[in-house]
Every structure is written in C-alpha cells, then in structure tokens.
Amino acid sequence: MRSLTLARAAGAGFLLAAIALFILYLIPSNHYYVFLPDRAHPLEPLVRISGEHATASKGGVYFVDVRFRKARLLEDLLGRPLARGATLQPIRDVLGSATEKQQQRLDVNAMQESQKIAAAVALKRLGYHVRIRPPSVVIRGVLHKAPAGRVFRPGDRLLAVNRRPVHSLCGLHKLIASHRPGDRLRTTYSRSARVSAATIRTIASPDNKREAAIGILVDEVGGSTGKLPINVRIDTRGVGGPSAGLAFALDLTEELGHDVDRGYKVAATGELELDGCVLPIGAVKQKTIGAREAGVDVFLVPAGSNARSARRYAHGLRIIPVQSFPQALHALATLPEKHPATA
C-alpha cells in the first residue's frame, strides 16, 4: 500500500512539473527574441524586370532571411533557445529605442532602399545610364584616447584617406584594412565648408587587435539614385532589412542576360552600398543554415567576421567571402565549370 502511495506521489510530481514547463513555454519573454533559420529563397520567381531573359539554367540566385519570434519564458530561464539552429537575441539589441511596429517599418524601408541600390549598382555595371550620387561619411564621435581625437570633431566630413576618396563606410574600412595598427594615414576632411588635411596614427581595432582602425564613429549622410532606365520590381513577400542587396544585384544581372550563376545554385547575403561595397550583416548562423538546407552550391557572404562565422556552420557548403559587387561577379565567373551530371 505504501509503495502505491509513493508511486502516485511521484506521478503527481512529474505531472505537475510537466504542466509547469508547458506553462513556462507558453508565456512569452519580455527580454529576448529567438532568431531561427529559414530556407533560402530563389529570386527568379520574385523579380519582374523589363527586358529580362528567360533562362534554362539549373542554377539560380537565392536570397536568405531569418525568421524570428519572442522567446518563451522557459527559454529565458534556460538561457538558450529550444529550436535547432536558433539564437537568443536581447530585445534591446534588436529594437534599440524603437517599438516593435516602428522597427518593422524601418525594416520594410530598408528593404525597399536595398532594392533601389541593388538595381542602380547592377544596371550601372551593365552599362546603363544611371545617376548615382554617393553619400558623405560624417564623423559622429571619436573613441576615448584615440589619436584621431586630436584632429576630428563630430560633424566633420571625411573626404579621403591617402588621397583616395571615401564614399561609404565599407569603402572607408577597405582603405584602412590594408594597414596595420600604428601606421600613419593622410586624411582629408571638411569642417564648416573648409577643407583640411592631417596625418593620424592608426590604432588596433576593438574587434580584432591585429587590424588597424582610426578610432572614429561614422554615419553615412545623403546619397541617392536617379530614375532607373528600366522598370524593376522585387516582391520579397514581407521580408524586411537591407541584407539581400547583393543577392538582388546578382539576380538582376542574371535576368538581363548575363550568365552569373553558371549553372550553380548561388545564395548571397550582404548589404550593398551605392559604390558597390558589401557591408556585414547579422544572423549569419541562421542564414548559413538556411542556405545549406536549400541545397545551394555556394554562399557569398561579406568578408571578415561574417565569413568566419559562416564557415563554422557551413558543413560542406562552399563559402565565398566578398567585399564588393564586382568581386562577387569575378568570384562566380572563376568557379570551375559545373559538370552537367552535378547540376
């Protein structure tokens, strides 16, 4: 009789624990989002462009995105997501000071802007007449004790580094990345419409001590494209954010009669700048898994930390780091010919 009572008590305890866990899973957390992989999507069915060419290629260009939801209270307490391939992200890191609805609007606007930039960059590369006015790089602040603090002030416009014009954040990074910490750079900048020049010493990047940095925080201001010479429409079905810019530009080039994919299934991610530079993006883990699950052959990602992260989750997927749209085109053009049997 006693053993039966103990068994019932244990069973009741397990039942109560299961109910408690179920309730904790149902209650949303107010501290985290969960980012989840989503299979990469072929762009060809989503793009409409005047003058496009039908292709019998077995390849294609794919864009990657990320699904997300609010974390469950159970995941919050455990400190990890329960879904495979997912990542917990603090809500404050995702939204900043914006509300969820405000961030959704920002993401939609960023997606629309990325489509305009991708179309302008791709068409200009193909020889179409497209007016592109690059943005200005404006200094927002200087890191504490950085030598640049003796030269720059917030509001200064950085015009050139070692006599090479600066037209984007990505372009600025590329100009600095070829140097080492401690090297001296000749900079040209403007303040109150007055142009000046100064030599500053680079420091070690806070992200990688072996890489050079100036120690400044910058924003892009302005930048625009004129009316496109042909009509381009891309329906991303509610997906937001700027990270599909590189994929858009590659697919537009493909659909205008240029064999970009060469029979490969090509996934790409990276925010595209008006000068063709490719900026880093977030959620690389989920996007790499999504590309892999879609069965693509190669995955183009921004060079640097994005590429290093992608390789950790590639599991055989070929990762190609790129810094610019022209470099992406060259990388695909120099891939070995794909055998028809493996297409």
State whether 121 and 250 are in the same domain: yes
The last residue of a domain, from among 192, 222, 252? 222
CB 264 within 8 A of CB 298: yes
pLDDT value at position 225? 87
Instruction: Report if residue 315 sits inside a domain.
Output: yes
Query: Which region holds residue 164: left if phi is over 0, alpha if psi is between -120 and 50, else beta?
Result: beta
pLDDT value at position 53? 64
Instruction: Tell me the pLDDT of the chain (343 aa) as tens digits.
Output: 455 577 777 777 777 877 877 787 778 888 888 899 999 999 988 888 876 666 656 789 999 999 888 888 888 888 888 888 988 889 888 888 788 888 888 888 888 888 899 999 999 999 999 998 888 899 999 888 888 889 999 999 999 999 999 888 888 888 888 889 999 999 999 999 899 999 999 988 877 778 888 888 888 888 888 888 888 888 877 778 888 899 999 999 998 988 899 999 999 999 999 989 998 898 999 999 999 999 999 999 999 889 999 999 999 999 999 999 999 999 999 999 876 554 4
State whether 235 and 331 are in the same domain: yes
State whether 241 and 319 are in the same domain: yes
State whether 233 and 335 are in the same domain: yes
CA within 13 Å, CB half, 50: 5
Domain of 178 in residue numbering reads as 135-222
State whether 174 and 268 are in the same domain: no
State whether 245 and 206 are in the same domain: no
Distance CA 40, CA 266 (A): 10
Number of domains forming the structure of the chain = 2
Q: Tokens representing 331?
A: 């990388």
Instruction: Report if residue 270 sits inside a domain.
Output: yes
State whether 266 and 118 are in the same domain: yes
State whether 143 and 118 are in the same domain: no
Instruction: Report if residue 51 sits inside a domain.
Output: yes
Sheet strands side by side (includes 66-72): 66-72, 28-37, 87-90
Q: What is the domain-level CATH number for residue 140?
A: 2.30.42.10
The last residue of a domain, from among 184, 199, 222? 222
pLDDT value at position 343? 46
Cα angle value 275/281/285 (rounded, 5°)? 145
> Coil, strand, or helix at residue 73?
helix
| Helix intervals (H) in the chain | 2-26, 73-78, 91-95, 100-125, 169-177, 245-255, 284-293, 305-312, 325-333
Place of tokens 């008590």: 9
State whether 244 and 312 are in the same domain: yes
pLDDT value at position 316? 92
State whether 201 and 252 are in the same domain: no
C-alpha pair distances (Å), 153 with each of 144, 214, 217: 13, 13, 11
The last residue of a domain, from among 222, 257, 286? 222
Instruction: Report if residue 57 sits inside a domain.
Output: yes
State whether 121 and 234 are in the same domain: yes
Instruction: Report if residue 32 sits inside a domain.
Output: no
Instruction: Report if residue 115 sits inside a domain.
Output: yes
State whether 116 and 139 are in the same domain: no
Instruction: Report if residue 88 sits inside a domain.
Output: no
Q: What is the domain-level CATH number for residue 298?
A: 3.30.230.10
Instruction: Report if residue 244 sits inside a domain.
Output: yes
Place of tokens 């495979």: 84
Rounded to a whole number of angstroms, the CA Rg of the chain reads 24
CB 42 within 8 A of CB 62: yes
